[in-house]
Amino acid sequence: MLSSLLLLSLGGCQIVQSLLNNPEAAIADAEAKLKAGDLAGATLAYEDAAKKAPTNVDAATGAAYVKVLGGDFAAADAYLMAAEATAGERAGEVKLRRAFVAMETGDLDKVKEYASGSALPAGQLIAGEAELADGNRDAAKALFEAAKADNSPIGATATTYLELMSDANPLVAGLSEAQALWALGQRRIAVRSVEDLVKAYAESRDDGGDQLLLWAGRAAAVGETAIAYSLLDSITVPPAGQGWRVQATRAMATCVDGDSPKCLELFEAVRPGAPADGYADARATAALAIAEKDPATSKALLEGVNGDAAARAYAALGDKATASGAANDPILKSQLGGG
C-alpha cells in the first residue's frame, strides 16, 4: 500500500524541494550537502540551522530527516515538536512528519494522534490504517472516507481500503487489516494473519493471483516460508508476465529455508525468462533475508548484482565498502560510508 512510500516522499524529496526556496544560508548549505550524499555534513549543517532557528519548519524538518536516517527517532521528534507550536499553516505538515517518526518506533497511538491531527489527506490515510490495525473499523472507515476525496494515490488507496472493508465475505474484508499492518511496518504480524484472507480474496477477484504472489513474496522476505509456499501453491495460473516471479519467490523461500544448493539452482533456472532488474532485485531480497544466518549463500546471490537493494544486503553482511560501491542513492551511499 501507499504508506510505506510516504516517509521517503514527504521526508526526502519534499524537504529538498522546500529548502531550495529558503534563503537562510545554514539551511541552504545543509540541503546542498544532503543532495550531494554528504549525510554527515548535512547532519551537522541541519543541526546548526535548527539551533539558530528552532521554530523554523524547514530547519526542523531537515534536522529530523537526517536523525531518522541515523536511527535517532527521539531527537527527530524533538526537532519537530519544537517547531510545531509556531508552524502556523504548516502545522499539519509538521504533525504528519511526527506521525512518520512514531511509525518508525511502532507507537500506533502517537501515529493516530499526529496523523489525524495533521488534517491532511495523507494523515487521514495513515491514521485510518492505524485505527484499522487496532481493530477500530468504524474510526478507520471515517478517516478513509475523508481521505478518499483527495485526487491522488492517497485517495485511491483509501478507496481500496473501503472497498475491502465493505466486502460481504468477512475473510476478504479482513484482508484490509493485514494490508494496514504491513503498511505500518508490522510485517511479520501482517503475514501471519493473511493466509486464509488472501486465499478468500483470490477466489472472488480478478487480481487474486497478483495478491497471492504479492503476499507470498512478503511472507518469504520475513521468513514465513510455510505461508509463502501455501500461497504460491494456490496460484493455478500465474498473472500475465509474472511466471518468473512465481519461480523467483519459490527460490527465495528455499533460500530462507536453508537449502543453499537448491536455492542457487532455482535462481539460475529463473534467469533466462526474467527481466534483468526484477531478477537482480529478487536475488538481493533473498540475500538480505538470509544474510545473518547464511552469509556464504547470501554472498553468492549477490554476485554481479548492484543497486540499493544489493547495497543493503552487503551492509547486512558487514561489507560496507562493497555496499557503498553498489548503492545508487547518494544518501544511502553516505550512510554506508562512501559519501
pLDDT level of residue 22 (50, 70, 90 thresholds) = very low
The mean pLDDT of 256-269, rounded to a whole number, is 96
Instruction: Tell me, yes or no, whether 75 lies in a domain.
Output: no
Q: For position 215, which CATH number holds?
A: 1.25.40
Say if CB 125 and CB 157 are below 8 A apart.
Answer: yes
Instruction: Tell me, yes or no, whether 272 lies in a domain.
Output: yes
Give every CB contact of residue 309 below 8 A, 6+ residues apart in sequence: 280, 281, 284, 285, 288
Per-residue model confidence (pLDDT) at position 256: 97
> Hey, is 110 helix, strand or coil?
helix
DSSP string, 45-58: HHHHHHHH-TT-HH
The mean pLDDT of 239-264, rounded to a whole number, is 97
Instruction: Tell me, yes or no, whether 275 lies in a domain.
Output: yes
Per-residue model confidence (pLDDT) at position 337: 63
The C-alpha atoms of residue 81 and residue 114 are separated, in whole angstroms, by: 11
Say if CB 191 and CB 218 are below 8 A apart.
Answer: yes
Per-residue model confidence (pLDDT) at position 49: 84
Lowest mean pLDDT among 122-136, 182-196, 219-233, 320-334: 320-334
For the cut 50, the answer to whether the pLDDT of residue 20 exceeds it is no
Instruction: Tell me, yes or no, whether 76 lies in a domain.
Output: no
Instruction: Tell me, yes or no, whether 126 lies in a domain.
Output: no
Q: How many CB atoms lie within 10 A of CB 21?
A: 8
Instruction: Tell me, yes or no, whether 74 lies in a domain.
Output: no
The mean pLDDT of 263-276, rounded to a whole number, is 96
Range of 37-51, 64-78, 136-150 with top mean pLDDT:
136-150
For the cut 90, the answer to whether the pLDDT of residue 335 exceeds it is no
Domain total of the chain:
1
Residue 278 sits in which domain range?
187-305
Instruction: Tell me, yes or no, whether 231 lies in a domain.
Output: yes
Report the mean per-residue pLDDT for the chain. Answer: 89
Say if CB 218 and CB 182 are below 8 A apart.
Answer: yes
Instruction: Tell me, yes or no, whether 102 lies in a domain.
Output: no
pLDDT level of residue 139 (50, 70, 90 thresholds) = very high
The mean pLDDT of 39-51, rounded to a whole number, is 85
Per-residue model confidence (pLDDT) at position 331: 78
Per-residue model confidence (pLDDT) at position 338: 55
